[in-house]
Amino acid sequence: MRKFIKTAGILLLLGTLFRPSGILAEDTKISSEQLERLLNRLEQAEKRIQELEESKPVTPPPTPQPEPQRETIPLLPPRLERAAGGLDDSDEMLINNYTDDSGSPAFETRLSTLEEDWKKFSESEQEKKAKDASKATTMKITGRIHLDGWNFSDSTPGIAAFNNPADPMDPENNLEFRRLRLGFAGDIKDNMIYKLEFDFDDANDPTIKDAYLGWNDLPVFQTLLIGNQKRPLGMDHLNSSRFNWFLERPLVIEAFNQDARRLGIAAYGVSEEETWNWRYGIYELENIANDSGYAGDAGQYSLNARLAGTPWYDETSGGRGYLHLGIADMWAKPDGDPSATASNNNEARFRTRPEARSGSVRWL
């Protein structure tokens, strides 16, 4: 650029000096002093341009920079990213302590919003399912098979004496159905429930087990059942034999509440936090499992009630430790005078048998 300016200046100067005569006549003549001053100014301009070029920093052409990636904050820590499933206590603790690089809870607000939305959605779905279920009648078929087998030693006089003290004889080995049940249960439109179950362990004499109708969500009674049902005497009988550890219940349970079920009307309820539960009702004393009815004028009945609760429950271990308390009572009226036609007008009997069911003898 410097050479270009210098050349242009010289050409301009020569053009001025060697103009055509016609033009020179019109212009003022340039003296040698003026020419020298012009050359000095040209050299100074050239020098200034050179200084500016030397002082100007040489900057390389800008290189294209990659677009910065946006940092994505995970909704949950890696160990909590799963398709389904709940969060246990350790996961909840991890969520509360999980922070991003800046040290602040990065997703706490979003997580809370998602949890609230999911809770609302879940509650609405449950309400919808409950409403739809109340409009339909359902039926569930239930069944149970318990097989019992015993082998008695023929050289044990003690067993023979217990089985038949008058004429000690060793009991025979046996293999039998302890329980052989078939039942139906379900819901009826709105808030009604039903259950019907029979036991065929004795093929010649089937027995009635549960046979009742009921209503849920009542304003005072909560749940009300009418029919053949369990009396609330002891937790062991209230539990189904499907969930007991052993095939037979304890002797004392069978002695004071044989077969447990009686014809009656009873109410069931629980506290709001489900810590306490209660049952109470009025029942016939006679067991109608075989003859399906009661005959008599005395009106033998009993009032039964039970209160139970779990005041302490270890939430941390998921219920591995808990305290369960319960109390039950019964007031009965076995009055009446038996006769030849109504021998069951006065009936109050407590009895039990060996768990091996080795014979008809009763131990109590």
Residue 231 in contact with residue 330, Cβ under 8 Å?
Answer: yes
Q: How far apart are CA 298 and CA 347, in angstroms?
A: 10
Q: What is the pLDDT of residue 283?
A: 94
Q: How far apart are CA 255 and CA 362, in angstroms?
A: 10
Tally Cβ neighbours within 10 Å of residue 261: 24
Residue 252 in contact with residue 364, Cβ under 8 Å?
Answer: no
Residue 329 in contact with residue 296, Cβ under 8 Å?
Answer: no
Domain ranges in the chain are 2-48, 185-333
Ranges of residues in the chain whose predicted pLDDT is under 70:
1-31, 56-108, 133-135, 154-156, 159-160, 162-168, 296-298, 335-348, 358-364
Q: 147-173: b or e for each residue (b if 16 or more CB lie within 10 Å)?
A: ebeeebeeeeeebbebbbeeeeebbee
Q: What is the pTM of this model?
A: 0.58
